[in-house]
């Protein structure tokens, strides 16, 4: 087996807190620039997480786990926020397909959208905002989209899988090689 070195990048954003509503555009554009610099013109799946969802773990501990396993899913007994909603599916990770260019990111609205979602969206489903502390970037070719048909009663299996750029739920094509799917990590320092 060949050794796969996963680059870890760091950006310091002390102005980014969730004590008040963040400036999504200002913070997002700094992250977009970093992502374009290191991952230009390539479709990737971006998974964003906050330390608040990993109590008792430091940023360095979490990065070490991810570098070792290829994912932040280190505890098989830990349920995600919407575990009941996805109970009929095998999902290894929730991530956003993205493509960063100099002009603008393609897919959602770049990191400004992710920061907005983690501030307002998590308040809606958890009751509190989450600060993004870590970004994981995966090779879309090594992920398989999970076909989900959204209904008012919850997601149902679909006969026709959506293209990867429309899916936000994935499984690893090669579950025994999760590390090889991971192409980079970004630590967002406080």
Residue 40 per-residue DSSP state: B
In a domain? residue 152: no
In a domain? residue 47: yes
Q: Read off the pLDDT of residues 132-175 as tens digits, 9 standing for 90 and up.
A: 999 999 999 999 988 765 555 555 555 434 444 456 888 899 99
Q: How would you write 73-130 as a 3-class SS string? A: CCCCCCCCCCCCCCCCCCCCEECEEEEECCCCEEEEEEHHHHHHHHHHHHHHHHCCCC
More confident residue, 24 or 161: 24
In a domain? residue 184: yes
In a domain? residue 79: no
Cα–Cα distance, 170 to 148 (Å, whole number): 10
In a domain? residue 65: yes
In a domain? residue 45: yes
Cα–Cα distance, 57 to 51 (Å, whole number): 7
In a domain? residue 130: yes
Number of domains in the chain: 1
pLDDT of residue 9: 98
pLDDT of residue 135: 97
In a domain? residue 158: no
Of the candidate ranges 70-79, 130-139, 169-178, the one whose mean pLDDT is the lowest: 70-79
Cα–Cα distance, 101 to 88 (Å, whole number): 36
Range of the domain at 15: 8-74+97-143+177-189
């Amino acid at each position: 087996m060949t050794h796969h070195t996963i680059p870890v990048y760091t950006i310091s954003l002390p102005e980014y807190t969730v004590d008040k509503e963040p400036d999504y555009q200002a913070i997002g554009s700094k992250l977009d620039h970093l992502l374009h610099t290191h991952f230009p013109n390539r479709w990737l799946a971006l998974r964003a997480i906050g330390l608040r969802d990993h109590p008792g773990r430091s940023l360095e501990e979490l990065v070490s786990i991810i570098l070792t396993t290829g994912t932040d899913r280190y505890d098989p007994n830990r349920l995600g926020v919407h575990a009941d909603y996805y109970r009929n599916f095998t999902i290894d990770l929730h991530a956003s397909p993205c493509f960063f260019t100099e002009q603008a990111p393609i897919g959602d609205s770049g990191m400004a959208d992710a920061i907005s979602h983690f501030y307002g969206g998590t308040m809606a489903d958890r009751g509190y905002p989450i600060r993004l502390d870590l970004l994981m970037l995966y090779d879309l070719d090594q992920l398989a989209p999970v076909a989900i048909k959204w209904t008012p009663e919850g997601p149902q299996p679909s006969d026709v899988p959506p293209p990867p750029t429309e899916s936000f739920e994935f499984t690893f094509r090669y579950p025994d090689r999760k590390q090889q799917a991971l192409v980079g990590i970004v630590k967002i320092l406080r």
